[in-house]
Amino acid sequence: MLVLGPIGFTAPWLLLGLIALPILWVILRAVPPAPIRRRFPGVALLLGLTDDESQTDRTPWWLLLLRMLAVAAVIVGFAGPVLNPSDARTGQGPLLILTDGGWADGRDWSRREDRIAGLLAEAERNNRPVALVSLAEAPKRVPNFQPPSAWSTRLGNLAPQPWRPDAAMTADFAAALAEAGPFESYWLSDGLAWPGRGGLLSELEAQGPVTLFESPRPALGLRPVRFEDGVVKLTALRPAPGIERQISVVAYGLDPSGTERALARGEAEFAPPEVEAEVALSLPAELRNRISRFEIDGERTAGAVSLTDDGLRRREVALIAGREDREGLELLSPLHYLQQALEPTADLVDGTLADVLLANPDAIVMADVASVAAGEQAPLLEWIENGGLLLRFAGPRMAASDISRTEEDPLMPVRLREGGRTVGGAMSWGEPKTLRAFDEDSPFFGLDTSDEVVVTAQVLAQPDPALASRVIAALEDGTPLVTRKRIGAGQVILFHVTANAEWSSLPLSGLFVQMLERMAVSTQPALTEASELEGTVWAPRVVLNGFGEVMDAGQLAGIKGELLAEGVLGPDLPPGLYEGEDRSIALNVIRPDAELTPTNWPARLRVEGLDVLRETLLKGWLLATALVLLAVDVLASLWLSGKLTGPRAARASAVVLALVLAAPSGGARAQESDDALAILATSEVVLAHVITGDQRLDATAFDGLRGLSEVLFRRTSIEPAEPIGVNLETDELAFFPFLYWPISPEQPLPSVEAYGKLNRYLRSGGMILFDTRDAAIGGFGSDTPEGRKLQQLARPLDIPPLEVVPADHVLTRTFYLLQDFPGRHASRDVWVEAAPPDAEQIEGMPFRNLNDGVTPVVIGGNDWAAAWAVDRNGNTLFPVGRGYAGEQQREIAYRFGVNLIMHVLTGNYKSDQVHVPALLDRLGQ
């Protein structure tokens, strides 16, 4: 092989061909380019014109140069050039290649692999048998010495382990070395000391010469996180003092949408004499609880990752009430006492159930929520099974609902009897009940049941064989007050009273706070003491691999608590997050007290770096270059002979240009249309109807809402824009204050997600007008196809108890004074949310202080859209009634529409107006 600088040639004799290049130059120059024939009538004018210069009959010099270069590239290419031809490492006899294979190898694993591959290639050239051993894989003996090519194929399977080799792991191996006979050893060290390293070295030296390879780049480690004085502290380690070095520590966790991302970042600096660098992160509790691990940025090792466990967390409790619509009535809010009790000790989370589940809180408290949408039930159950605590409180809505009546609801601990009971009231016998002392197996055992707690109303559990085991608190007459059911790793607890003071004085007492603490609120971090862990089994949830990547633990077997407490990492105990009954322990590569010690090899040994210059064959590149040059030559020749610039070439080049410029455009169109809808729906008030799939029905609904919009525009200060048809599956509902939903027996049931959306819509103040359009043939609840369909559609919806619109409902007087709500049919059966049972007629006022929120649904069958419908010119589309009486009915239908939209848009403002005279009267005093 001929070697010139960094390039060697395998067939140098071929280079002699370069001598022929000048001859080629001369020959090529003598040959002019081929002419092109053209028919041209103007040739008569050309006759006799001679060329000024005869130079261009020769090929231009630059084209010649191009061709010369192409030929030269071919010649040099076939001469077999090699970049960085490696100098041979001589030697003979068996060769043992050792690598530490621990986590510290992960930082430069690819270079390590390259180096091993280079050593194997050398051994191949020298015809030496090789054995390749990774110490962290706890080898038992020296494997057979095999041809290097056998090892090259297996090299890809070698990966760093997330622990480090130690004396125990390598003891058998060291003992077996003597039997393997004399051999030479190459040891690729990771640069960190470990016990047993010296012993192994002396064993190796006894068998033959040892060469060491070590990367000069230090491995970094990250100690487990500490939470001190309200800040999160982390310590980064390096093996030896060195130059000043800046590192950044990144905290990873799930964001609210459930994807993992970097949540926080802190900078740490190694001062020159120091081996430790500390970083303190001040994080809000919400963010802190989401963090699942810390990493040193850019360091690809398991040691640079620190998983977090319960030690960093504060209990996160989500509060959800059925409907929070009582502005200002703080003391009656179902959540008020819970908030007061939990605020000092837990982080409270607000939001809808779906959002809250993403945050994965420790406990969810649901006060007087009857049913959960089907789409939310499955994730909620899954969350409970994964250890969540669902705490439910009863209330009027739960008592009025059908939940858990005939069969046990998965989200309820017991079945409930219809109604409930009231004791100690004006209309009932007996005294209000007090609490019985707690049982021994109750979690509340030991708390003082003071007599101040009295219960006046509650929901009753259905007697059941399993009931006794589920009661954890009871009244003095034995009726269950608190029941509990375990689901998977989590539990559901039901308080049979309200969370506010309406039904009992429990929320007012100190006992309430103590009970909450016993159940949900425990901010105690997990302690890993051997005595505590004895006899327990911990299941790995996630484990780290050698590169510090977090892997799902899959089917790994559980680990005994004693082993976990010892914390000696190895194949049986990989680092990761282990989960016990109700808490988790993170087992990190770097222990809290760990140090990184650098290796200190005896001076007699030769230590080489890991850098390896890989041999690169240049033949392919050169031949490819020659091909490219020849292609350029083709174009240049064409251009020179005028074939590229002729009359047709311009069009061809335009076509090519157009093809190049025609870049694919698309995507993000869905996003755009979403945004367009949002802007359309929110720039003005817009009435909306649900698209049922029945085109005629949808057109009628659209025309009806258009007619109503026009009437509103003319008569009131509401000035709606053109109505919009809403697709429940794809469109966002939050933009619309009002949805008109005509029922047709054929329409498909919405999907689970759409129901989730609808429930969220109803809870956040939206209103749906269901129209069965069948009042002509049957009343509400009667057995028409539309009625059955409505029942089917509305079953998964969170609809409160209903009643026929009472004569004093606010709907009868938000704009016009109305008593009937006719559409195309004139039925009185129009249903709205029922007033609470305790609503009373206000003294001297025409109507009761009815539920002052807006009714979430209005249900009827009067086919209002048909009565409202007008075409673009304002002509009515459907006849209503007969003659003048019919027109009168249409007018009343419009008035109902006006009242309804007023009711939706003004909320309780209109019903509060009744109080104005009283307030003015009081102010006057």
Residues that bind other proteins (CB under 8 A): 32-47, 49, 51-54, 56-57, 640-643, 645-647
Closest to other proteins by CB, 645 or 683 = 645
Buried b (16+ CB within 10 A) or exposed e, 115-152: bbbbbbbbbeeeebbbbbbbbbebbeebeebeebeebb
Question: The tokens of 455 are what?
Answer: 């219960």
Distance separating alpha carbons of residues 660 and 764, to the nearest angstrom: 52
Phi, psi (degrees; rounded to nearest 5) at 384: -65, -45
The residues, any chain, with a CB within 8 Å of residue 176's CB and separated by 6 or more, are 140, 141, 142
Give the shortest CB-643-to-other proteins separation in angstroms. Answer: 7
Q: How far lies 243's CA from each of 191, 217, 595, in Å?
A: 17, 12, 18
Contact present, 839 and 897 (Cβ < 8 Å): no
Buried b (16+ CB within 10 A) or exposed e, 207-229: bbebbbbbbeebbbbbbbbebee
Contact present, 223 and 594 (Cβ < 8 Å): yes
Closest to other proteins by CB, 465 or 647 = 647
- AA letter at 825: H
Distance separating alpha carbons of residues 27 and 8, to the nearest angstrom: 31
Closest to other proteins by CB, 58 or 111 = 58
Give the shortest CB-125-to-other proteins separation in angstroms. Answer: 56
Closest to other proteins by CB, 44 or 670 = 44
Give the shortest CB-38-to-other proteins separation in angstroms. Answer: 6
Closest to other proteins by CB, 45 or 88 = 45
Give the shortest CB-666-to-other proteins separation in angstroms. Answer: 33
* 184 sits in which H/E element: strand 184-189
Based on its alpha-carbon atoms, the radius of gyration of the chain, rounded to whole angstroms, reads 41
Closest to other proteins by CB, 39 or 604 = 39
Distance separating alpha carbons of residues 703 and 696, to the nearest angstrom: 10
Give the shortest CB-644-to-other proteins separation in angstroms. Answer: 9
Distance separating alpha carbons of residues 433 and 421, to the nearest angstrom: 12
* 673 sits in which H/E element: helix 669-683
Give the residue among 575, 539, 117, 554 at the shortest CA–CA distance from 301: 575
- Cβ-defined contacts of 890-893 (< 8 Å, 24+): 892/818, 892/820, 892/821, 892/822, 893/821, 893/822, 893/823, 893/824, 893/862, 893/864, 893/867, 893/868
Give the shortest CB-659-to-other proteins separation in angstroms. Answer: 21
Closest to other proteins by CB, 646 or 879 = 646
Give the shortest CB-640-to-other proteins separation in angstroms. Answer: 6
Determine how many CB atoms are found less than 10 A away from the CB of residue 438: 20
Q: For residue 756, give the DSSP letter.
A: H
Give the shortest CB-31-to-other proteins separation in angstroms. Answer: 12
Closest to other proteins by CB, 592 or 646 = 646
Mark residue 763 as left, alpha or beta (left: phi above 0; alpha: psi -120 to 50; beta: remaining): alpha
Closest to other proteins by CB, 63 or 832 = 63
Give the shortest CB-658-to-other proteins separation in angstroms. Answer: 18
Closest to other proteins by CB, 647 or 667 = 647
Q: For residue 646, give the DSSP letter.
A: S
Closest to other proteins by CB, 46 or 427 = 46
